[in-house]
A and B are shown apart, each in its own frame.
Chain A
């Protein structure tokens, strides 16, 4: 007697099969279907500060949002433009030192120092990395990775900004709510604005540079200029996070150039789903609180943390969000073979 076999069949949902990447939406139901995950993200982020148990966890949330911004900035450059920039700590440092020192030395309010730190920091980062832009892949990554160490040495050697002591106090936000909601709003804006940008014509040029920069050159496009645009956008996000940190922690010091700000966003990107922009943010909102929760384990939490990363790279290299969106657009059922 022949054994009965069953096989799991996965099918794309109608809207996905019909409109792959085109989004010809025909009904409220489909609009809702596309809108639900996006609205969910907004809702969760906006409600999160209200439901976390204590002030301590609100601060963790704020810090997680900082990592999320860095992860978004890294993901945008690496996966959408093809520039692997691992200088997250440098963006945080430059943005933080600018806004923090403006506040400390000149007493300017946060409403002024954060925009100045954001734009000024982005200009400085972009100008410093400009000569490295013809480099590709790992070479650009290595150069950008060097900059935080470089900055730390200069500050130490020159005794600038009070050296190791740092600048304290930097005035904080009126209350924790302003701080947390400011950074969460910026995370949401960054995600949606960058996703929109990547669908625009210039976003296609970014994708072209990632896929085949020689072909873009042959298309009469100055790729260095386009890379500068992308780098500036990315550093604006990173330096905003830095400027925010200086006021959020009320302190500016060498810890702003800590390597955590470089490594954690990369880990979050791998975990959350490279190339999705929202995924890396999701990864950061999981990893940063997880790392806090495991604080009790002391050094052991680094092991657990590495374990999570290796597991993701080995078993789910596409990351959480890519996996989730694939599942969302499919339905499965068992069929007889």
Chain B
């Protein structure tokens, strides 16, 4: 018992409805320290609502969320990010009028990043360029200086991750970072996720790209209609009859 890892984020019995539709119903899940947890489910299952609830962008009607011993449920989004629980947005949220590297000045300016910056705090531009390189931007005199409005989606998804990394996160919640990318772009994102895990960042990944997700995830939670229907290791979950019916469809025979 004593050896068991404690959950880093613990979601307990949260419920959230929009009008008459219950998006998330009495859902609990634990995110262990250092793991990569996949969260999958059909469209409209409530995945993004869970992300929004954990990161404070929507408030749950019932239930509680803890980060270590700290209760997140009542905190505003920026406080939650300040604790090191960061997120990407499924629909990317760049700053169109800023250059790619300048858009990282915003998180680098935050109190959390400044606390970590120490003596190098004065040179945020250099830190920003380093961060962009870390997520796979070319380190040349061209790409990092492009306006965000001129960048293709693949780079904007990386920019989302770079924004999280600028905060020296403990947790990154990735809301479909692979979606909308070409096969080659996804292929280059997978090693990036692996690198993040090596650095000790805990990841909660929402994905529709199951093959890529299963190659990095330690554990998978499946939800449907806001309810958890299965949990476990990827192979084990995919054997589950309810999961296959709900998620993959009846006709799909493996």
Q: Which residues of A contact B (CB under 8 A)?
A: 21-22, 201-202, 204-205, 207-208, 210-212, 214-223
Contacts and interface: CB of A to CB of B under 8 A. Distances in A.
Interface in B159-218: 163, 166-167
Contact of A219 (B57, B94, B106, B145): B106
Of B82, B93, B106, B108, most A-chain CB atoms within 10 Å: B106
Contacts of B108: 201
A216 B57 CA distance: 12
A220 B112 contact: yes
Given A201-B105, A201-B109, A217 B81 contact: yes
Contacts of A222: 76, 78
A207 to B, nearest CB: 6
Contacts of B98: 204, 207-208, 211
Of A204, A214, A222, A223, most B-chain CB atoms within 10 Å: A204
The A contact surface, by secondary structure, is helix
B107 A220 contact: yes
A42 B17 CA distance: 59
A215 B110 contact: no
Interface in B33-86: 55, 57, 76-78, 81-82, 86
22 contacts: A22-B145, A201-B105, A201-B124, A202-B109, A204-B105, A204-B109, A205-B105, A207-B95, A211-B95, A214-B77, A214-B93, A215-B89, A215-B93, A215-B95, A215-B106, A216-B106, A218-B89, A219-B78, A219-B110, A219-B163, A221-B78, A221-B106
Contacts of A220: 78, 81-82, 86, 107, 110-113, 167
A204 B109 CA distance: 9
Nearest to B105: A204
A214 B57 contact: yes
Contacts of B82: 220
A211 B92 CA distance: 12
B97 interface: yes
Contact of A217 (B78, B99, B112, B166): B78
A329 B94 CA distance: 28
Nearest to B102: A204
B103 interface: yes
Contacts of A214: 57, 77, 89, 93
B215 to A, nearest CB: 27
Closest 6 CB pairs of A and B: A220-B81, A219-B107, A215-B93, A211-B95, A220-B110, A220-B82
B171 to A, nearest CB: 13
Contacts of A215: 89, 93-95, 106, 163
B98 to A, nearest CB: 6
A216 B102 CA distance: 13
Contacts of A211: 94-98
A214 B55 CA distance: 12
Nearest to A223: B78
A301 to B, nearest CB: 37
Contacts of B107: 219-221
B157 interface: no
B55 A208 contact: no
A216 B104 CA distance: 10
Contacts of B109: 201-202, 204-205, 221
A201 B111 CA distance: 13
Of B97, B110, B124, B167, most A-chain CB atoms within 10 Å: B97
Contacts of B57: 214, 217
Nearest to B83: A220
A211 B108 CA distance: 17
Given A21-B99, A219-B106, A220-B110, 16 more contacts: A204-B106, A207-B98, A210-B97, A211-B98, A214-B77, A215-B93, A215-B163, A217-B77, A218-B55, A218-B89, A218-B93, A219-B163, A220-B107, A220-B112, A221-B109, A222-B78
